[in-house]
Chain A
Amino acid sequence: MVRRIFSSPLTLIGFILVFILLFLAAFAPLIATYNPLEVNFSNKLQPPSSAHIFGTDEVGRDIFSRIVYGSRISLKVGLLVVVISFPVGTMLGAIAGYFGGLVDQIIMRLTDIFLSFPGIILAMSIAAALGPSIENVLLALAVVWWPWYTRIVRSSVLSIKNAEFIESSRALGAHPFRILFKDILPNSIAPASIQASLDLGFVILAAAGLSFIGLGAQPPSPEWGAMLSSSREILREAWWAATFPGLAILFTVLGFNLLGDGLRDVLDPKQR
């Protein structure tokens, strides 16, 4: 299976990108060449050079070191949002699909309501109500994200809930929750897990966007979206200040996407 995943070069690229991200986040203090928050006005707006490979920003901070530390923030947000919303969404989807009837109606109408907002807009208003901070953005994104998993899991549960092995468990007198956890969930969670691996990237993208408009991480935090936001002030003088944080976001999202697509190809060949 591992060999099948990496038989595609794109998946391999995805894996490498994600690996680099994890590596940067894990060893940030060793990799970063400067303190990401250290202000040095005499050194401001330096173009990329051997001393500062991505240049410096308007107060002389090293952009490379900031990006390295920023990977920790992005990864934390991505993982936590998925770790919160995935189990919630999955359980609700499984319950809706398996029990049907009124429970199903209530849960699905609830997801309809959440999905009738473009995600970023709903997250924006929740984060604005909570007050600007990266933790609140994290919470807002988790609130927005769960309905997707609910829908995906529900439809895969529906497709197997009348399978004979489920009926057999019922005939053996198994409790509905035993059937749900032992028979239904293990056999219907794959599509949602693939989505979750793609979502790690999209959550990071959304969080950067919210920080970009001033809701998430606040300066001087080396969050990538916030860095991009403040780079606009110095766009004329310092192209590098805008370019590199954006590339970091792009490669991160791309990495999780490629990896997720590769997983899908292996686990669910019909989608190709």
Chain B
Amino acid sequence: MDAIQYISKRLLLMIPILFGISVLTFFISHTIPGDPARLILGPKADPVIIKELQEKMGLNDPVYVQYGRYVSGILQGDLGNSTYTQQAVVNDLKRYFPATLELTLFSMIITVLVGIPFGIISANKKDKIPDQITRFAALIGVAMPAFWLGIILLLFFYLQLGVLPGAGRLDTWVSPPAHITGMYTIDALLTGNWPVFQSAFIHLILPGITQAAVTIGMITRMTRSSMLEVLRSDYVRTAYAKGGSQNRVLYGHALQNGMMPILTLIGMTFGHSLGGSVLVESVFSWPGLGKYAVNAITYLDFPAVMGVTLLIAVLFIFVNLIIDIFYQVIDPRLKYE
């Protein structure tokens, strides 16, 4: 079977998953709260108004009718209106998504650039000092409450030293670059706007590091164990026996094969970063999906919370899908089964 067939099969298998996700989010938003109308209007609302809204929302219809309406709404890009911003949730998501994507991508880059090399060093120096230190650091990273790390970094670099900005995506005196991707650093580069790029970049540093701390720990550990497995294998020993130099064996043979499971983990950490954005963005007042969701929670703005949930879930499974496909295409052993 060829790659195209495999990809179409995987896309086909997405349908039941997306169906399941929609059932779950429907259940959360329509069944758990007992009365979504009351949830939208708040606990102190007038019962008459609640009754009106119940009628308007069709809450007295059978469940499957409500589900049908919910799904057809989603398919038409209708996620309801935010009770807080008074905007269509879809429009809000479009507005806040680029900021989250920018932060997530930046933290993923840090994660890969730091985590993989340290994992390799750790595996190569197994049980020696560098390995011990790396493993301990990774352990701390995994156990670290990211939202606390963010606060501590703010305390030190912003309040104490004053070398890095504390909140937002840009300095107040800088206006955002022309909207191309919505990611300020990239848009600034594309338009050649150097000062804006600088401002956008230094604002990314603290939240990026905060976001990356946990995922670096995860990637380092995975790289280490994956490399150790490969280094123990017969073909690596053969390569050494043939007289291959350490670097050649390490980067030529071992890394290539050790990368496979790491790739899968990168997909998982992407999901972790998206999830963590809820916490990190609210520490740094980063105007992305996470901050939007947390505001929504504060104002009991339920359609907005569900909109973010749905978007992040869909993003997460598509990223994993892409990684899976990539994985299959580059690993000759897996025969699309």
Contacts and interface: CB of A to CB of B under 8 A. Distances in A.
A–B contact (CB under 8 angstroms): yes
Interface of A: 10, 109-110, 112-114, 116-122, 124-126, 128-132, 201, 205, 208-209, 212-215, 225, 228, 231-232, 235-236, 239, 242-243, 245-246, 249-250, 253-254, 257-258, 261, 271
13 contacts: A109-B20, A110-B20, A116-B17, A125-B309, A129-B29, A129-B33, A129-B39, A208-B145, A212-B147, A239-B155, A242-B155, A243-B152, A250-B140
Contacts of A124: 278, 293, 297, 305, 309
B49 interface: no
Most A-side CB within 10 Å, residue of B32, B155, B276? B32
Contacts of A120: 275-276, 278-279
Interface string B149-166: 101101100010000000
Contact of A250 (B143, B225, B317): B143
Interface of B: 16-17, 20-21, 23-25, 28-29, 32-33, 39, 136, 139-140, 142-149, 151-152, 154-155, 159, 225, 271-272, 274-276, 278-279, 282-283, 293-294, 297-298, 302, 305-306, 308-309, 312-313, 316-317, 320
A116 B313 contact: yes
Nearest to A125: B309
**Interface SS of chain B: helix, strand, loop or mixed?**
helix
A130 B140 CA distance: 33
A121 B312 contact: yes
Contacts of A130: 32-33
Given A117-B309, A239-B155, A214 B298 contact: yes
Contacts of A253: 143-145
A205 B276 CA distance: 12
Q: Is the interface of A mostly helix, strand, loop or mixed?
A: helix
B145 A205 contact: yes
Contacts of B305: 124-125, 128
A41 B317 CA distance: 50
Q: Determine which residue in B20, B275, B317 has the highest number of CB atoms from chain A within 10 A of its CB, and name it.
A: B275
Contacts of A214: 294, 297-298
A213 B17 contact: no
Nearest to B25: A125
Nearest to A208: B145
A228 to B, nearest CB: 6
Contact of A215 (B139, B276, B297): B297
Contact of A122 (B143, B147, B309): B309
Given A113-B20, A246-B152, 4 more contacts: A110-B20, A112-B17, A116-B21, A253-B144
Nearest to A245: B148
A254 B302 CA distance: 34
B9 to A, nearest CB: 15
Of listed A116, A124, A126, residue having the most chain B CB within 10 A? A116
